[in-house]
């Protein structure tokens, strides 16, 4: 009973790039109600065929757009637009104004970590992850030799 209710609370994915579209597709497949927001309509083509959530065209920093995507009752927000400043703003709006329990943000610049320090926001740094992966595969090939 509780489980179905929890699943019905929406998840908002901001930015429908390669990462955003995949996250939205996976969550949708798991049965969550997903809203994807992007200012460019053509971005939605990246969504996988099995995606069954909602697509909203608009500026993800605009509160009217967020409220149309039912941010008040959301259980999770993923800020994955191309711009760090937009992601920073959205994640703080979600966490500090709407008190969304789970907020995830992607930052290209690791320096931005300090801006969300102390808030209930978890950050993903693609540059760090790429570096880790590079070290792993480079190190593996070294061992092979």
Among 32, 51, 61, 71, binds other proteins (CB under 8 A): 61
Tell me which stretch binds other proteins (CB under 8 A): 8-16, 21-29, 46-54, 79-87: 79-87
Report the nearest approach of other proteins to the CB of residue 144 (Å): 38
Among 5, 50, 114, 144, binds other proteins (CB under 8 A): 114
8 A C-beta contact, residue 28 and residue 51: yes
CB neighbours of 96 closer than 8 A, spacing ≥ 6?
A: 119
The answer to whether residue 45 forms part of the interface with other proteins (CB under 8 A) is no
Locus of tokens 């880790």: 132
Tell me which stretch binds other proteins (CB under 8 A): 8-16, 70-78, 113-121, 127-135: 113-121
Strands of 11-113, DSSP E: 11-14, 34-38, 54-57, 76-79, 102-106
Burial class of residue 97, CB neighbours in 10 A (0-12, 13-18, 19+): exposed
Q: Residue numbers of the site for other proteins (CB under 8 A)?
A: 59, 61-64, 83-86, 88-89, 92-93, 96-97, 109, 111-112, 114-115, 117
């Amino acid at each position: 009973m509780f489980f179905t209710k929890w699943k019905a609370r929406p998840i908002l994915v901001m930015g429908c790039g390669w990462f955003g579209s995949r996250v939205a597709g996976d969550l949708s497949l798991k049965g969550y109600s997903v809203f994807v927001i992007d200012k460019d309509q053509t971005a939605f083509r990246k969504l996988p065929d099995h995606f069954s959530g909602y697509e909203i065209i608009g500026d993800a920093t605009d509160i009217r757009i967020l409220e149309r995507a039912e941010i008040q009752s959301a259980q999770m927000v993923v800020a994955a637009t191309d711009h760090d400043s937009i992601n920073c703003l959205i994640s703080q709006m979600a966490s500090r104004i709407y008190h969304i329990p789970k907020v995830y943000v992607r930052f290209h610049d690791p320096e931005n970590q300090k801006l969300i320090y102390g808030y209930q926001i978890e950050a993903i740094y693609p540059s760090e992850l790429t570096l880790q992966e590079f070290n792993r595969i480079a190190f593996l090939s070294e061992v092979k030799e």
